[in-house]
Structure 1
Amino acid sequence: MSTTPAGIRNDEPASVDALDRDKIARALATAVKVCDTPLVVGVYGSWGTGKTSLMKLVQGELESETDFYTVWFDSWQHQFDENPAIGLLHTMVAQLGLAEKSGSQARELLTSVAGAFTDLTQWVQPLVDGSADLDQLRQRFLDERFKAREQQILLHKHLRDLLDKATERGAIRLAFFIDDLDRCLPEYILKTLEALKLFLNISGCVFVLGVDREALESTIRARYGDRGISEHYLDKIVQVPFALPPITKAAATRFVKSMLPEELVGVTDDIVAGLDPNPRQLKRFVNSFILNNELAKEIFEGPDYSPIVLVDLLIVQYRLPAFYKEIAESRQALIADRPDKTVAGVDQLSSVRRLVDLVARDPSALDGYIYLSEAISVRRIAFDVVVTEVGEFRIQLIKVLREVLGCTLTEARDLAESPPPIIIATAKTREEAEVLLARVLATGSTGEIR
């Protein structure tokens, strides 16, 4: 059986720090150890920036303490649970081994909490009854409100008892790490954030929430429409926001070099210079390059193959997909014989300049590399659409916003009048993003795909 090419990495979070974030992890862990409780810490970063890896490092720091327990909650795996709070508590009981430590007590408390939740959501009864007079309706309303209050008190009591069991009555602090929330369905995201409020009057608990803030705010905006709500909703829940800083060039270089086989480390600087400093993007690019390199060994003979040429073409495929299509169809796309050709506007990219020089010497030199890049591509799969400047036909843009976001006329108008950039769609396919961008541009506004 053939072996996997050296350097291929899966998409799981890193267990060892390769991005110089150990100092950040220690600082966050220290803050969690000494903070007042309850508290919610928000770790903000876009897709692939390493939120999960950083949270794992923080969790590792806390687990070395004798007076700290940690619970890891993967929201994405629980997004079809009816109630996020119950899913979170089930995970806590399982990961802390409470069922084994306390016999049936933990299970009974968990059942009580779940029952209280169910009763609380079902207490409201229809008040409109044609056969009832006004006094009867008033009395029914008061009765139902009393039942709701009873259930709230019972819920908090059971919840407090369960957490007392988990924290050994306050002797142990409990840190919940909630990950991948921004990958979930909008309704589940909102339910989870609302569920966190239940815990915010219970001491001894710290919640570390890893999210893409822009994507999450876009979800809230799509749900509520008003931009002001989306901007302040998260701030009312998160007391300590932390924006994950981009990785340095030096860290990116070490990261890429650590994934490359010995014979390919010479292209490290070219990869780092050609891509954004996003750890997941770098990892996927390197994986694709390594597989392409293995395939090249079977296709090319002797000295005809150059890894740097393959890297250059893959960078163009990733950074400039439309231009890459032109090159794939005709190598003449790399010959700047007319000022209106695409290559004239992108030749500042070093990878493009090297490909131009190569094709100028030998028009067929890229043929084998094109085959490789088509076989195992590094195309991006998720794109955001952003309005960068609102044009003179504001009404037409408002119409587009209403259709895309499903919001009211007032909400769309407020959004159009807010300062750019205005994110109007996230995680779209390239084709969907291009169609939506064309609609934005048709209104006289400017925008871009990110």
Structure 2
Amino acid sequence: MILSHNDDPTLHDGFDNKDFIKEVCLLIKKCRPPKGIGLNGYWGTGKTSALLQVYFQLSGKSPYNNDIDTNSFSAEYVDESIIPIWFEAWRYQYEGQPIVALLNEIRHQMGMFQKFTDSTKKIAGVTILGALSVFDEVIKVASGGLLKHQIDKVQTIGDTWEKERYQQHLPGQTINKLLQEAINSILPEKDNPKLAIFIDDLDRCEPESALRLMEGIKVYLNLDNCVVIFGLDQRQIERALIKALGLNNHENDEHYAREYLEKICQDIIHLPLAGKKKKSDYFSGLLKEVVGEPKHQFCVEQIIKVTSMYDCLPANPRKIKALSNRIASMFRQQLSLEWENGPTFSSLGEEQDETSNLDKNAAICLIVAILYCFHRAVYEQLQKSPEYISTVVEYASSQDLNNEDYLPMRGIKPSMSVDKELPVNPSDSNVFRLHQLLIDLRTIGSEEILLFTNL
């Protein structure tokens, strides 16, 4: 049993997005380069894991070498005509020209791929070395003549490049032709071979760095054998572009930023957002992994049952992991935290039978954990004054969201007003999703809250 989940990317498809992964794989395989593809998702919704799964499905390999076990997974769309390249953009965001780091990484990974891949391609080894030497020359040009491929760090060339970038004569068509031919000479002799370049965490880069990398990709890698796949939060990238391009004084700055992004990414595909059942199933698997004591099994099952009845989880794997870790910690801190045959309540939307009866302590445990993870000000108020729970229950059904008694909730985004659902970001953890659950509970006593807030 593990004590806590981490946030590492995984090949495990927790939200059952296999159809989405298949769609992206087929798009990469069948598209006509040059091509830019964006996998768009909010922060924490699993973009890196989705990129990783696409990479694995196309190659049968992991870009993290032996750090991820691939033996438990099946690659169904392996295409030997594709060489995948993995690049973590945020690691190089403080370089003067991130494109230099990307070209270096492509050179290195293509060389390693060719070295360890059996091929019937009829070319001499010297041809491969010649192709890689073209990368050396392009890297030298891209860095303003300041780098050779043997140099590992590119930090020091930033300032000089900024000063000299407009003094260099870049024979663009010649460079692109040489680079395209160099890539072709290493690609497998298959129909429509291509380089698939996966760019992760572009949306976590500083605005200027994100812009430099996109500009560099457009200049150097807009080639007939290259597909670039970006993992990004479109909102964050557009905001970064607005800042980096100095569009703040334009009335249509969002439109201009989107137009710029669409020149880089011709297809932007949205990561599917999980519904109530998928979120509950994912949470169930996570919670059972970190709460393994047999005496807690009943409690865990009852908490999971509440999430299956109420849509109170964000569509965000990172946040759901944090919630499961918190509940596991609550059980560890108080080993006697267990209950059975306690008070129950029924969802007003369900028929009154024994299957619709829900455990009240399980619901309160879940509510307290959600407040702890996502609504800190409310949780701290409950720690200070447990009787404040009655105000939280009132807030759930209130029409006056500006009531002074609701000050700790002031920064929270409600998802309901009376019996009407409000439009909210489905993955945002700052959205209050406990309205219906609190309404159905009707009353919660301060002594019931104390059991879970004193942990």
Mark yes or no: TM-score above 0.5: yes
Q: How much has 1:19 moved relative to structure 2?
A: 1.0
Q: How does 1:222-241 map to 2 (within 5 A)?
A: 222-223=243-244, 224=246, 225=248, 226=250, 227=253, 228-241=255-268
Q: How much has 1:234 moved relative to structure 2?
A: 0.3
In the TM superposition, what whole-angstrom CA distance separates every residue of 1:152-177 from its partner, at most 9, and x where no partner exists?
A: 34533442343234325786321111
**TM-score with structure 2 length normalisation?**
0.66
Residue 412 of structure 2 is matched in structure 1 by none
Residue type of the alignment partner of 2:263:
K
- Unmatched 5+ residue regions in structure 2? 60-77, 117-124, 147-159, 343-359, 410-416, 419-431
Q: How does 1:25-424 map to 2 (within 5 A)?
A: 25-63=21-59, 64-96=78-110, 97=112, 100=115, 102=125, 104-105=129-130, 107-119=132-144, 148-150=169-171, 152-168=172-188, 172-199=193-220, 201-223=222-244, 224=246, 225=248, 226=250, 227=253, 228-261=255-288, 263=297, 264-271=300-307, 273-297=311-335, 300=337, 306-335=361-390, 341-342=405-406, 349-352=435-438, 357-359=443-445, 363-372=446-455
Residue type of the alignment partner of 1:43:
L
Residue type of the alignment partner of 2:306:
D
**TM-score with structure 1 length normalisation?**
0.67
Residue type of the alignment partner of 2:329:
L
Distance in 1 between the 2:94 and 2:2 partners?
Answer: 35
Contact kept? 2:38, 2:265, Cα under 8 Å: yes
Q: How much has 1:111 moved relative to structure 2?
A: 2.1
* Residue 315 to residue 160, structure 1, CA distance change in 2 (3 Å): same
Q: How much has 1:306 moved relative to structure 2?
A: 4.9
Contact kept? 1:45, 1:243, Cα under 8 Å: yes
Contact kept? 1:40, 1:237, Cα under 8 Å: yes
Contact kept? 2:90, 2:204, Cα under 8 Å: yes
Which has a greater percent of helix? 1
Contact kept? 2:81, 2:187, Cα under 8 Å: no
The alignment of Structure 1 onto Structure 2 pairs a total of residues equal to 345
Identity %: 22
* Residue 91 to residue 123, structure 1, CA distance change in 2 (3 Å): closer
In the TM superposition, what whole-angstrom CA distance separates every residue of 1:207-234 from its partner, at most 9, and x where no partner exists?
A: 1111111111111112222313212110
Contact kept? 1:327, 1:334, Cα under 8 Å: yes
The 10-residue stretch of structure 1 (42-51 or 333-342) with the greater mean CA deviation from structure 2: 333-342
Contact kept? 1:44, 1:213, Cα under 8 Å: yes
Contact kept? 1:313, 1:355, Cα under 8 Å: no
Distance in 1 between the 2:205 and 2:162 partners?
Answer: 28
In the TM superposition, what whole-angstrom CA distance separates every residue of 1:291-340 from its partner, at most 9, and x where no partner exists?
A: 22211216x58879955432221223345443333322212212359995
- Unmatched 5+ residue regions in structure 1? 127-143, 373-450
Provide the aligned C-alpha RMSD in A: 3.5
* Residue 371 to residue 45, structure 1, CA distance change in 2 (3 Å): same
Distance in 1 between the 2:51 and 2:228 partners?
Answer: 11
Residue type of the alignment partner of 1:296:
Q
Residue type of the alignment partner of 2:140:
G
Residue type of the alignment partner of 1:312:
I
Q: How much has 1:148 moved relative to structure 2?
A: 1.4
Distance in 1 between the 2:372 and 2:260 partners?
Answer: 39
Distance in 2 between the 1:197 and 1:306 partners?
Answer: 56
Distance in 2 between the 1:24 and 1:206 partners?
Answer: 18
The 10-residue stretch of structure 1 (254-263 or 190-199) with the greater mean CA deviation from structure 2: 254-263
* Residue 169 to residue 186, structure 1, CA distance change in 2 (3 Å): farther
Distance in 2 between the 1:321 and 1:331 partners?
Answer: 14
